[in-house]
A and B are shown apart, each in its own frame.
Chain A
Amino acid sequence: MAYDKFNILTSSAVPLPIENVDTDQIIPARFLKATERVGFGDNLFRDWRYHPDGSKKADFVLNNPTYSGKILVGGKNFGSGSSREHAAWAVYDYGFRAVVSSFFADIFKGNCLNIGVLPVQVSPEFSNKIFAAIEADPKTAVEINLPEQTIKILQTGETETFNLSGYKKENMINGFDDIDYLQNIKEEIVEFADKLPY
């Protein structure tokens, strides 16, 4: 599925300074029963966000009107556990276009890249700076510049670069996905497969 193009994103950010946020928290398994990719944002962080009776948990950050924006800033080891792409869909569907963390779990990171959510891995120090800046001013704007591969806290000017392969970067900027690429080299794939033992 082709996705939104990503170039420069400037937005306030939502802080979630908890470590090891697993994909079962991002979207619990009981909400994985859909056969279409719609409505997952409603259940993003479902059990942290709502009481069992459906009322909101006032102290959870997504229920706090002070914080908003298209950037989610998570703690270390964000997205561990289950490979469910539904977690990335929920993040996207809720309205986030980038997730920032000092460390991402592999599968979640790959899933984000495949659907057009940019995972921005920063140093632990820079992660702390973002959390501090948001704490000082919840409307602090963060700029993520994909072509330059930089992330900047606009109020302080503090900037860090982040890694992304050239291939994935081009894909994100142009809204291409891997299937577009693979479809174009199908003959080469078939030729390769013919030579395999099984």
Chain B
Amino acid sequence: MSTTLFDKVWDSHVVRKIDDGPDVFFIDRHFIHEVTSPVAFLGLKERGITVLYPERTFATADHNTPTINQHLPVADPLSANQLKALEDSAAEYGISHWGLGHQKNGIVHVVGPENGITLPGATIVCGDSHTSTHGAFGAIAFGIGTSEVEMVLATQCIMQPKPKKMRINVNGTLSKGVGPKDVALYIISKLTTSGGTGYFAEYAGNVFEDMSMEGRMTVCNLSIEMGARGGMIAPDQKTFDFLEGRLYAPKGEAWTKAVEYWKTLKTDADAIFDKELNIKAEDIEPMITYGTNPGMGIGISKNIPKANQVEGGEETYKKSLAYMGFEENDVMIGKPIDFVFLGSCTNGRIEDFRAFTEIVKGRKKADNVTAWLVPGSHVVEAQIKEEGLLDTLTAAGFVLRQPGCSACLAMNDDKVPAGKYAVSTSNRNFEGRQGPGSRTLLASPIMAAAAAITGKLTDPRELF
């Protein structure tokens, strides 16, 4: 029978099928961070049970960490307590822990691939919805709740009904200035934030084949924003080249054997999906969001849609625009902005910093803009310095911060003040996401760079 890439990986990890119930689903790799794991460890204690496979779980501190002065003690006692709880639990159960200040520390979805923990054909979970990022390698990766974190620690399994399958094909040639983030925001704007709910997506077509691994990670990362549990891309030579030689990637004979297996991980020609979406690359322009969910995105040259042009309730739509301080039919270009955030598990990788730097090179940051440039990991940070990007950024008036989730969810001090506008390369523009009352406009690194230079929303294509 013809099967999809998703079927192949899913079916090979089903320990047991329950009649009229979920599958008992085995997890190869489990990431944990300080925010969604403490209660899971407490649960183990209450039950008097231990971690079944400590070597399959990897801990990193990222959500709640400062992005300056990381060598100093964390000032917020609650954050410090959470970081300590993770460190203590990792030590107690023998789990690898890359805490604050560790050279391998960084955002969980950046350090996983960086260290070859993420592998094709693997099943990967984490108490974080952007775990879908790892699907870029042909893994089944998705976010889970804390009860499930406890299940994985205790038994390396979770109970999951198999999702339906969706394929999103993007073919053609992307226009100049259109990158992976724009492709993803365009897809979400078509599907809405619930169009993918109940599905697991496969991204296919020449646009994804031609995309770098970093770009594929950006696209898969945003799968959850259309409601899909995750998204994946068939592994190819680019995937293998990225992984070869990384810390946890197989070595020697095991590598050769692994690649042989990975080459079989693709959807059969006549396999059938429950839903299929076809998109022409030429239709996509640089994207910007104007509302309070990631599905509320448009091309930068477009006007904000009128309430009667969008799906869903008019009241919810108007509430959203009122929060943003926007009106129906507003032009986006030229809107003044206050903050720019480059970073997060969506766009905190080296390629994102290269793209941003390319635009700001030889220019100056606008005086009215506060810019936070936060690398996804220490490895990315080092690379920014090695490649000379930091010198260019410094000359343009930017400062590089230290790795972490930062202003993406504003659990640390990197908060956008109430009423202020932030052009953000992160993944969510929900009310208050970047700080109470903050107004977020999601965009690509080059759109963020263009806004940082001009102090207002600007079509980045004008700055090439």
Contact = CB atoms under 8 A, between A and B. Distances in A.
10 contacts: A20-B193, A20-B316, A24-B431, A35-B82, A82-B128, A84-B35, A84-B36, A111-B147, A165-B161, A179-B43
B319 A80 contact: no
A179 B430 contact: no
Contact of A185 (B12, B15, B161): B15
B62 interface: no
Contacts of B315: 17-18
Interface stretch (B362-370, B391-399, B432-440, B447-455): B432-440
B316 A30 contact: no
Nearest to A197: B261
Interface in B12-44: 12-13, 15-16, 18-22, 24, 26, 28, 35-36, 38-39, 42-43
Interface of A: 1, 17-20, 22, 24-25, 28-30, 32-37, 47, 52, 75-77, 80-86, 88, 103-107, 110-111, 114-115, 165-168, 177-179, 181-183, 185-186, 188-190, 192-193, 196-198
B173 interface: no
Contacts of B100: none
B52 A80 contact: no
Contacts of B22: 165, 167-168
Given A28-B432, A34-B38, A35-B42, 16 more contacts: A18-B319, A25-B430, A29-B410, A33-B411, A83-B143, A85-B147, A105-B227, A165-B20, A165-B21, A167-B21, A168-B21, A179-B47, A182-B154, A188-B15, A192-B26, A198-B250
A80 B194 contact: yes
Contacts of A115: 147
A86 to B, nearest CB: 8
Contacts of B147: 1, 85, 111, 114-115, 177-179
B85 A82 contact: no
Nearest to B410: A29
A104 B198 CA distance: 10
Given A28-B432, A105-B197, A83 B129 contact: yes
A177 B249 CA distance: 35
A149 to B, nearest CB: 12
B293 interface: yes
Contacts of B53: 193
A86 B435 CA distance: 18
A85 B146 contact: yes
A59 B78 CA distance: 32
B312 A19 contact: yes
B386 interface: no
Contacts of B127: 83, 85
Contacts, number: 205
Given A33-B64, A167-B21, A189-B157, A81 B78 contact: no
Contacts of A32: 35-36, 63, 411
Contact of A193 (B26, B148, B197, B430): B26
Interface size class of B (residues with CB under 8 A): 35 or more
Given A24-B430, A106-B229, A182-B155, A81 B129 contact: yes
B20 A85 contact: no
Contact of A88 (B145, B227, B313): B145
The 3 closest A-B CB pairs, nearest first, are: A167-B21, A166-B20, A85-B145
Which of B15, B47, B49 neighbours the largest number of chain A CB atoms within 10 Å of its CB?
Answer: B15
Contacts of A83: 36, 127-129, 143-145
A22 B129 contact: no
Contacts of B119: 198
B202 interface: no
Nearest to A165: B21
B409 interface: yes
A25 B431 contact: yes
Contact of B39 (A35, A76, A182): A35
B145 A77 contact: no
B418 interface: yes
Contacts of A20: 193-194, 293, 312, 316
A33 B197 CA distance: 28
B428 interface: yes
B227 A80 contact: yes
B77 to A, nearest CB: 9
